[in-house]
Structure 1
Amino acid sequence: MRAKYVMSEVFLGLWRNISMTVAMIITMAVSLTMLGAGLLLYNQVDVIEEYYQTNLEVVVYMQRDVTEEVSEKIGEELRASPYVKQAQYESQEEAYERFQETFAETKDLVDSVDPEVLPSAWRVEMHDINDADQLIADFAEREGVYQVTNQRDILQEVFDILGGAQRLTLVVALVQGVAALMLVANTIQVAAYSRRREVAIMKLVGAPNWFVQAPFVLEAVFAGVIGSIFAFATLIAAKFLVIDGQFSNLFSLMPPITMQSILILLPILTGISAVISAITAWITLRFNIKV
């Protein structure tokens, strides 16, 4: 009977303040969407770094006029190095084919490059990419070597940009979260004030505090949970319509965002919204409903 009464009061309270309820749900949905996007980006940066840590190479570019004997000698020394897992030779023709594949969408750039301009190279897979600096020091000054590059250094700027976007998204989510909490507190205050006579009567007949506060807390929790569901639906829509649709070409350069990583956000967002909404409502009521 008590449970039935509490639930009826919850839905009645939500309907009485429908405009505030809708505003609270929308604000929660926006803040949780930003939080979910931040968590996705945070996880994706780690996935990308792990992906490239296992696929990054050290590239030993040879001079264009290097002889075959010198190039083979460099290859033998690379294979003999304790830092090297595998060394594969790439001729000028193969380098040009790779260049064409990489910049296939910019035909003018491909047409402007002469195949003979691109140097041959040894592509080196390391046991540990952290040893790349030592390998570079060993081979940078060798005869016939034009340049030795570590792909991780080239991609470090990309990782820095992703890290900055990661932090920015979390900061925006935090600001949105504060706004959502303030709206939750304001909505609960309005609801408590509009039902102040009912609350006073319940207190006079000896109703315990938890029984009086339960409908208000559940209202906030309900709005938070609905907001988290909208946020989750927004993230799924963004994956299929934006990420997989507009940015699908990027997946040749980095691993895609998996559906599993988004699905796991539903319980996380729901739990966060429910707990924070309940705590905010309970603290607000402590100042509005006296024992």
Structure 2
Amino acid sequence: MRAKYVLAEVLVGLWRNVTMTIAMMITMTVSLSMLGASLLMYLQVEDMKEYYYSQVEVSIYLKTDVTPEQRTEIQTKLDTDELVEKVDYESKEAAYENFKKLFHDAKAMVDSVGPNEMPESFRVSLKDPTQFRAIDEGYRQLPGVQSVVDQQQLLAKVFDVLGAIQSMSLVVAAVMGIAALLLVANTIQVAAYSKRREVAVMKLVGASNWFIQMPFVLEAVFAALLGAILAGVMLVLAKVFLLDGSLAALTNLLTPVTWGDVLLMFPVLAGIGGVVSAVTAWITLRFYIRV
């Protein structure tokens, strides 16, 4: 009987303050969507780091006047190095072919250089990509070596940019979350004020604080759960129409966002939205109407 009464009061409260409820749902949807997108970006950046760092190579570029003996010496040293997993030699001709593929849209640039301008190099895959310093110190001073370049340093700059975007999206989500919390608190205040006489009567007949507060808390939780569901739907639509649709060519440069990560956001956002709304509503009731 008590559960039936509480649910009935929740529905009445939601309908009585329908405009405030809709506003709260929309704000929750936007803030939770931003939070979900931020969490997906965080997971994506971590996946990208794990993938690209496992594929990272060290390039040992040779001087233009390197002799066959020097080249053979470097090759032999790399083949016997315990830090090296795999070595690929790239000749001037192979480097030029790769250059043409990479800049196939810039014909003038391609025509301005030839194979002789391309440096020979060894592409080295390390067993542990963090051991670049040891490779750098062991090969930079060898005769015939022009420079040693670690791709991990280049990737670090890219991930720094992605990390900054990630942090910015979290800040925006936090701001929207604060707005949502204020709106939840305001909605609960309005609902409690509109039922102040009922609350007073319930106190007079001995109703517990928990019983009086529960309908208001459930109103906030219900609106938050609906907002979380809508936020999850927005993330699904973003994957279908943006990541897998119009932005598919761009996202080919990145590791794909999996459906598992997207669907994981539904329970995560529902849990965060429900708990935060419940706590906000309870605190508001404790300090505002003091039932």
Q: TM-score range by the shorter chain?
A: over 0.9
- Does structure 1 residue 157 correspond to structure 2 residue 157? yes
Tell me the residue number matched to 2:97.
Answer: 97
Equivalent position amino acid for 1:74 in 2? I
Structure 1 residues 172, 81: closer, same or farther in 2, change over 3 A? Answer: same
CA distance in 1, matches of 2:109, 2:285: 66
CA distance in 1, matches of 2:273, 2:124: 48
Residue 113 of structure 1 and its aligned partner are, at CA, apart by 4.5
Residues 94-146 of structure 1 deviation map (CA, whole Å, 9 limit, x = unaligned) = 22333344445555654555343222211000011111111112211222222
Tell me the residue number matched to 1:86.
Answer: 86
Equivalent position amino acid for 2:254 in 1? M
Q: How does 1:127-276 map to 2 (within 5 A)?
A: 127-276=127-276
CA distance in 2, matches of 1:36, 1:196: 37
CA distance in 2, matches of 1:104, 1:19: 57
Residue 93 of structure 1 and its aligned partner are, at CA, apart by 2.8
For normalisation by structure 1, the TM-score amounts to 0.93
Please say which of residues 112-121 and 168-177 is displaced more in the overlay.
112-121
Q: Secondary structure at the match of 1:254?
A: coil
Residue 248 of structure 1 and its aligned partner are, at CA, apart by 2.5
Residue 14 of structure 1 and its aligned partner are, at CA, apart by 0.9
Q: Which runs of 5+ in 2 are unaligned?
A: none
CA distance in 2, matches of 1:156, 1:2: 59
Q: Secondary structure at the match of 2:148?
A: strand
Tell me the residue number matched to 1:33.
Answer: 33
Give aligned-pair identity as a percent. 52
Equivalent position amino acid for 1:70 in 2? Q
Residues 34-87 of structure 1 deviation map (CA, whole Å, 9 limit, x = unaligned) = 111111111111111111221100001122343444323211111112221111
Equivalent position amino acid for 2:3 in 1? A
- Does structure 1 residue 70 correspond to structure 2 residue 96? no
Equivalent position amino acid for 2:58 in 1? V
- In 1, are the aligned partners of 2:86 and 2:126 still within 8 Å (CA)? yes
Structure 1 residues 104, 21: closer, same or farther in 2, change over 3 A? Answer: farther
Equivalent position amino acid for 1:76 in 2? T
Residue 172 of structure 1 and its aligned partner are, at CA, apart by 1.4
Structure 1 residues 88, 38: closer, same or farther in 2, change over 3 A? Answer: same
For normalisation by structure 2, the TM-score amounts to 0.93
Structure 1 residues 105, 284: closer, same or farther in 2, change over 3 A? Answer: farther
Equivalent position amino acid for 2:173 in 1? A
CA distance in 2, matches of 1:15, 1:100: 66
Please say which of residues 185-194 and 31-40 is displaced more in the overlay.
31-40
Tell me the residue number matched to 2:43.
Answer: 43
Q: Which runs of 5+ in 1 are unaligned?
A: none
C-alpha RMSD of matched pairs (Å): 1.9
- In 1, are the aligned partners of 2:243 and 2:251 still within 8 Å (CA)? no
Residue 206 of structure 1 and its aligned partner are, at CA, apart by 2.0
Q: Secondary structure at the match of 1:87?
A: strand
Residue 245 of structure 1 and its aligned partner are, at CA, apart by 2.5
CA distance in 1, matches of 2:111, 2:194: 73
Divergent runs of 4+, >6 A: none
Residue 285 of structure 1 and its aligned partner are, at CA, apart by 0.8
Q: How does 1:43-62 map to 2 (within 5 A)?
A: 43-62=43-62
Q: Secondary structure at the match of 1:287?
A: helix
Structure 1 residues 207, 112: closer, same or farther in 2, change over 3 A? Answer: farther
Equivalent position amino acid for 1:87 in 2? V
Structure 1 residues 110, 4: closer, same or farther in 2, change over 3 A? Answer: farther
Q: Secondary structure at the match of 1:125?
A: strand
